[in-house]
Each structure stands twice: as C-alpha cells, then as structure tokens.
C-alpha cells in the first residue's frame, strides 16, 4: 500500500536535497511550486480569477486563445463579458472561436489557452439534446467528451484549459442544474487525468493539486 504526503522542504538542507533527488529518480516526488507547463487544467469557481491567472502564464509569449463561447448580440450582458475578455488579451495572441478544441490540440503550434470547458460542455449539451432528454444524448455526449480527453492526453503542444469547479456547493434544485453539475464534474475529472498539472484558483490564489 502506498500513501501520499505533503511536506515543506528547506532547499538549503543537504540531507533533504539528497532524499528528494533519490525519490525524484524513482518518479515518486514532484515539486508543487513549479511553474505551470505542459497540459494544464485550471479550475476555479465563478470570479475566482482562474481565467486571468491562466492568461498571465502566457502573456509574454505567442499563444492561441480558443474561445468556446458563441457571441449572441441579443444578450447584452453576455456580449459585455465577451468584450472584456477580448480587450484583456495581448494583441500578439491569435483568437479562434470554436467548439472543435480536439482538432487544435492534435497538431503542433504555439501554446493554447482554452476558455472555457464549462461553456464547451454547455454548448454540446444543447447540441445533443440533453436538456430535453433526447434519445441517445448521453452516448453522443460521452463520445464527444472522450474525444476531447483523448486529444488532451495525446496533444503535442502546451495547453492551458480553464474550467469551472461547480461541485462544492449545494445540490442544484433543478434537473438541468444537476445534469450540468454532474457532467461537468465528469469532464473535469477526465481532463485532469490527461493533464500534466492541475491548479485550483480560489479568491485569486492558485494552488497546485497535481
């Protein structure tokens, strides 16, 4: 049986450095304060600062921003959110508005920032008829999420994927709310398993989980 421990180590302690080096050689230890890199899932609640934090990791680099939302001119509040997101992105970034995240993950290129998986899921739930319980919707959704998770696992490029953490509150009072919470939890778990790192942002403070 194995167990996991979280300890603080003084880098000036020679014995601690030797122990960590031995454990690292076996693949049994990793630093939790390393800069985020590779395939990174960034979780957080509403207005937690998760998107802003993810953007800062790539601000000084060329990057491709994959926006999963769809502009809706009839929704003034949503359009204002979209405008604010667009304005804070660096001018040297490329922005692509798409639901086909898997295809972009499947080929080489500059780092990707996907924002966000919760919106990606919502649009796919719409498309497969989940809200009205259309026949076959779950199988169709499972196929789409499996393709996304596989693309994350096999991606040759650096990618930051932002998603909402919605499972820590009260049980939603509607079927639609419970369905969304459950499916997003499954999606987040699948993507987390495929990522090199997972970070949780709470009140603007990031903490590495994986």
Domain-embedded: residue 165: yes
Domain-embedded: residue 77: yes
Write down the catalytic residue from 85, 92, 104, 107. Answer: 85
Residue 198 structural domain: 37-208
Average pLDDT in the 117-139 region? 98
208 vs 16, residue with greater confidence:
208
Domain-embedded: residue 63: yes
pLDDT, one tens digit per residue, over 75-102 is 878 778 778 777 788 889 999 999 999 9
85 counts as catalytic: yes
Do residues 164 and 207 lie in contact, with contact meaning Cβ atoms separated by under 8 Å?
no
**Does the structure show a pLDDT above 70 at 39?**
yes
Q: Global pTM?
A: 0.86
**Does the structure show a pLDDT above 90 at 114?**
yes
**Does the structure show a pLDDT above 70 at 4?**
no
pLDDT, one tens digit per residue, over 149-202 is 999 999 999 999 999 999 998 899 999 999 999 999 999 999 999 999 999 999
Q: In total, how many domains does the chain have?
A: 1
Q: What is the CATH number of the domain that holds 102?
A: 3.40.50.300
Q: 47 to each of 16, 143, 149, 164, 165, how far by Cα in Å?
A: 39, 30, 25, 10, 11
């Amino acid at each position: 049986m194995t167990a996991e421990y979280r300890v603080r180590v003084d880098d000036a302690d020679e014995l601690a450095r030797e122990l960590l080096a031995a454990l690292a050689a076996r693949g049994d230890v990793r630093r939790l304060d390393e800069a985020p890199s590779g395939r990174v899932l960034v979780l957080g609640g509403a207005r937690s600062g998760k998107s802003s934090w993810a953007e800062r990791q790539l601000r000084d680099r060329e990057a491709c921003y994959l926006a999963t939302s769809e502009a809706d001119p009839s929704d003034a509040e949503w359009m204002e959110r979209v405008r604010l997101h667009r304005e804070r992105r660096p001018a040297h970034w490329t922005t692509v508005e798409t639901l086909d995240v898997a295809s972009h993950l499947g080929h080489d290129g500059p780092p990707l920032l996907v924002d966000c998986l919760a919106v990606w899921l919502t649009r796919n739930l719409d498309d497969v008829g989940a809200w009205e319980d259309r026949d076959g919707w779950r199988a169709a959704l499972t196929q789409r999420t499996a393709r996304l998770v596989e693309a994350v696992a096999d991606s040759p490029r650096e990618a930051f994927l932002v998603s909402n953490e919605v499972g820590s509150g009260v049980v939603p009072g509607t079927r639609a709310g419970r369905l969304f919470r459950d499916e997003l939890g499954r999606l987040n778990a699948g993507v987390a398993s495929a990522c090199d790192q997972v970070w949780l942002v709470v009140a603007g403070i990031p903490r590495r989980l994986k």
